[in-house]
Structure 1
Amino acid sequence: GGTTQAPWVASAAAGALLSAVLVAALVLRSKGRLPAETVARLAELQARIRPHFLFNSLNSAIALVREDPRRAEALLEDLSELFRHALVSKDESVTLAEEVQLARHYLAIEQVRFGERLRVEWAIDPRTGSAKVPALFLQPLVENAVKHGVEPSPTGADVKVSTQKRGSVVVIKVTNTVPSGQGRPGHGVAQDNVRDRLRLLHDVQAQFQTALIDGLYQVRMEVPA
């Protein structure tokens, strides 16, 4: 009875968790703070950050260590910031400025991996930074843009993140080009999660819409300013 996992599945999961513990522990220890609940939360973290993303990031850093140590260090700093934010409770609200910074760290890591295939544009309205948003709501959306826009396309994709204050609301958009011939991307689970958490925080004042128009996939959100 019971289910068995293929050995490589178990070892991959264990390896990812071990790497996560190592990176987070080293970073937090070096900064003189290692909260007691860190290791416990790392297990939950696995559901938020894909293990193969972690492996790719660490492999990129290892590959860079000899040829470009400064860039390798920058990548590991971006990764450590990603972990630090991911260890925040999902129930907490944060500022949009913090979420934009986290998305910058994430895309900087992916930029090392994809190079010129990932073309990022930021259009951030400085007046939007203090808007309250759910923790870790933006990173899964830019991750989706990379997964469905950049990964399947040999020429890569354009990813744009924009924020704009319009009266009493803040409009947040994540847009990516879609490879030709590809239908509506299956962004489902992550988007449903973000939409639900926006509504939990802001109720009817939150809006969440998606559209695929002329080869551009866009997620458009509104929150109170």
Structure 2
Amino acid sequence: MASKDPGPSSVWSDLRDALTQPDPETTGPLTFCASGPVVRALLGVHVPMALALCWVAPGPAVWGQWLAEGATLAVPACLAWLLCMCVLLARWAPLAHAAPMVQGAAAATSAAAITALVWWPLHRAGLAPGDTGALPPTLCGAAWGWALWQVERWRQRARMPAAAAARLADLQTRIRPHFLFNTLNSAITLVQLDPDRAEELLQNLSDLFRAGLGQLDQPTTVAAEVTLSQRYLAIEQLRFGSRLEVDWDLDPAAAHAMLPILALQPLVENAVRHGVEPSDKGGRIEVRTRRRRDRVLISVTNSVPEGPTRHGHGIGLASVRQRLRLLHDLDADFRSGLIEDGRWRVSIGVPA
């Protein structure tokens, strides 16, 4: 049976959907305000220009001169376009949540307009190369703006498969059979002795499982991560008792910074497993948050037991590091290692 040709109404319906429906494979609005897009934009300008000039420049001296002349046009246009896209996507909700076709057209159009505006006065002053009019640099600017927008879109879409892999890694390191077994045994014991505490224990366990089985591609806040970590440590406190000492030093100004889900709890769990559990004397864990200007710093420090210690596989730390990079790009900082007094510290830095 011959298939029916799509009618005009079907074509217009598909075009309307393409112009109005947001991209279902992205996890939120794009942003060009961070350092990552700025670095990629500047590299996206200079690297192709430098390679193209290699084919036409008669020598290294001329190549350097032409590259410098090209940068007088490219750098101002690049920075102006980044500022324009940053303001539009942050302040204009219809564009921030528009369909990919609309956002791509806005990126290309704004890049073309800014290129023309920057090129014309520089060309009149004799600082910009070219004598064929503003059309060639304008078209180059439009193509470059669309290409960089597409790169940022692809990067954001890559969060979802990466989050799926991170979910598996988190489940492997967090939902451990003996942790679940010990928690349920503690709850059974408390049912008769202290029913309210048993209910609180099971509620904490439920919250941990809900977070571990939830959507890891959606960001959360420092305050929510601290609450989840406190629930985990409340469970472990029943098992270790006085052997587990916890010191919370929390800055209220850091509470609203964005983190990936389950970014702090795996660090706290590692501190328990490697700093408290192997030691007969127990250990001490310090969780600290601070806001410093436009940065939020988070650290988890634990005592290191004497004698040989077991080493983990680093799956949990790698998962947290990966998801921090996907959420905050180059603005995320993740460090771990021994500090001066022989303790182990894992620190995170994110934009405030």
1:222 partner amino acid: G
CA distance in 2, matches of 1:161, 1:122: 5
Tell me whether 1:51 sits opposite 2:184 in the alignment.
no
1:109 partner amino acid: I
1:84 partner amino acid: R
Residue 131 of structure 1 is aligned with which of 238, 257, 261?
Answer: 257
Residue 349 of structure 2 is aligned with which of 206, 219, 222?
Answer: 222
2:349 partner amino acid: E
CA distance in 2, matches of 1:208, 1:46: 21
Measured against aligned partners, the alpha-carbon deviations of 1:87-118 in whole angstroms (never above 9, x if no partner) come to 32111111111111000000000001110011
CA distance in 2, matches of 1:46, 1:125: 29
- Given that residues 149 and 179 in structure 1 are in contact (C-alpha distance below 8 angstroms), is that contact kept between their aligned partners in structure 2? yes
- Partner of 2:273 in structure 1? 147
CA distance in 2, matches of 1:89, 1:78: 19
- Partner of 2:105 in structure 1? none
Larger Rg: 2
- Partner of 1:72 in structure 2? 198
Q: Which has the higher helix share?
A: 2
What is the alpha-carbon root mean square deviation over aligned residues?
1.8
CA distance in 2, matches of 1:219, 1:181: 21
Query: Offset of 1:124 from its aligned partner?
Result: 0.7
- Residue pairs, 1:11-160, within 5 angstroms: 46-47=171-172, 48-160=174-286
> Runs of 4+ in structure 1 displaced over 6 angstroms?
none
Query: Offset of 1:187 from its aligned partner?
Result: 6.0
Number of residues of Structure 1 aligned to a counterpart in Structure 2: 183
Identity of aligned residues (%): 56
Tell me whether 1:193 sits opposite 2:315 in the alignment.
no
- Given that residues 278 and 309 in structure 2 are in contact (C-alpha distance below 8 angstroms), is that contact kept between their aligned partners in structure 1? no
Larger mean Cα displacement after TM superposition, 129-138 or 69-78: 69-78
Q: Relative to 1, partners in 2 of residues 1:46 and 1:211: Cα closer, same or farther, differing over 3 Å?
A: closer
What secondary structure sits across from 2:266 in the alignment?
helix
TM-score, length basis structure 1: 0.76
Q: Which has the higher strand share?
A: 1
